[in-house]
Amino acid sequence: MTTTVALHTTDSIESEIERLHRAICERAYAICRDDSVAHEGELSDWLTAERELVWRPAAELRRKGGRYEVLVATAGVPLEDLDVEVSPDDVVIKGNVHHRHTAAKGEVELCEFHSGELFRLVHFPERVDTTAVKTAYTNGLLQIIAPIAQ
């Protein structure tokens, strides 16, 4: 079954990048200030903060017949939690992912599920026509079709 996903257009995604950058900076600073954590340097603190805060799902960008097709692996994320913003130059896929363990379900021995903010930025090699972008969601894959601007 294929479903469409809500799509928002914007002139620029700079505010989203700035918001995420600030959140990672604040978390990296908190890690740096934590005396109970062994520090390997500022870069290590930054990368740890980024891993804690952001899930970057797998993506693919291809050009086909005057348009770009973006595929993003978002299996397990409810459609109502996905937000897609497209500008003439980029597409941003955002969402909040919640994965929790409960004692009633048993003791967890391994968990590779993500919790936190899903954030994926894909830059288009050429500008796209934001008025004609379409989305679809099938079998855990978010598909975004963006015609190249004339």
Question: Is the distance from CB of 108 to CB of 29 less than 8 angstroms?
Answer: no
What pLDDT is stored for residue 132 in this prediction? 95
Question: Is the distance from CB of 27 to CB of 49 less than 8 angstroms?
Answer: yes
Residue pointed to by tokens 């968990």: 111
The encoded tokens of residue 137 equal: 């969601």
Q: pLDDT digits over 92-140, tens only?
A: 999 887 777 777 888 888 887 767 788 999 999 999 999 999 999 988 8
What is the pTM for the complete model shown?
0.75
Instruction: Sketch out the chain's domains with CATH numbers.
Output: 7-12+54-147 (2.60.40.790)
| φ, ψ at 24 (rounded to 5°) | -65, -40
Cα–Cα dist 34/37, whole Å: 6
